[in-house]
Amino acid sequence: MNILVTGGSGFIGSHLVERLLSEGHKVVTLDDMSTGRMHYLSQVMRNKNHKFVQDSVTNRKAVDKLAKQCDVIYHLAAVLGVKNTVDNPLKVIEGNIDGTRAILEAAYKYNTKVVFSSTSEVYGKNPNMPFKETGDRVLGAPSVHRWCYATAKALDEHMCFAYADKGLPVTVIRFFNTYGPRQNSSQYGGVVSRFIKAALTGEPIEVYGDGTQTRCFTFVDDCVDGTMKAMDPKANGLAFNLGTDRPISVLELANKIRELAGSASPIVRKSYEEAYGPGYEDMPARMPDLTRSKEILGYNPSVSLEEGLMKTIDWFRRNMPN
């Protein structure tokens, strides 16, 4: 098939592009390179079935042209990161909503299947776990910028389901704490990559809050496997959780990474206020219900946390500057 991947030079997107090409698809990567890295695609840039286009998903003319030529669009391009939500909420809101609207409008015009990447953030502070795809959303006040990313992604989902009602084949996937090689270790990146970078450089491993908050971390290969399966027509019109159901506290994660990396880095506590400014809220726990994903998609994450962390640590060792 002919497939368009937006955000294809990013962390998850680049792994998805490689997998699609390995299975014989023709792939176009669309990325504005605001956070993507060209060297993430170094293994596929000379592949005759791959084409790279540097442009924005908000460029309707470019998106329309590409959608016309594709059978499936994987829409992964997004403005994300906790620091972005706190420091630049307008960038988060406009970047996510405008881009998704452009993709859906073009896809509907040509009846092109869309797989939209959403986030576990949409569940907000819902205390009922594990999170089911039909569960309620519980968010803080709109004056608290921390919730703007969850709100923007939820509105994106509303648009997806509205187009599904009009006949567009569209599937929503919600990622739960994906980690692995190529994850950004900057202030906008995930906790795993941030901990690994600190452990390998001997810097303090900073745990925000008291460290008792729990998450279910998903290795990128399992994430991509579920994303690929969402192409199936039987997934149309539905949302799916993609993650693991094996929680670990953030403090335990820090200790595990320090041990696996053979690091002597101290583990230090840092308040949310110090990290993100006043008023930041975090959830004490987050865990997906995988029943729907397993039954309909045949999704079965298989990479253990230890195995995934070692692969990620090895990648950082090979790719970090001295």
Active-site positions read: 149
Torsion of the alpha carbons at 116, 11, 65 and 157, rounded to the nearest 10: 20
Residues 119 and 160: beta-carbon distance below 8 Å? no
Q: How many CA atoms lie within 13 A of 47 on its CB side?
A: 22
**DSSP per-residue string spanning 153-197:** HHHHHHHHHHHHHTT--EEEEEE-SEE-TT---STTS-HHHHHHH
The single-letter code of the amino acid at 298 is: G
Neighbours of 186 (CB within 10 A): 11
State how far Cα 37 lies from the chain centre.
16
DSSP 285: B
How far apart are the C-alpha atoms of 190 and 180, rounded to whole Å?
10
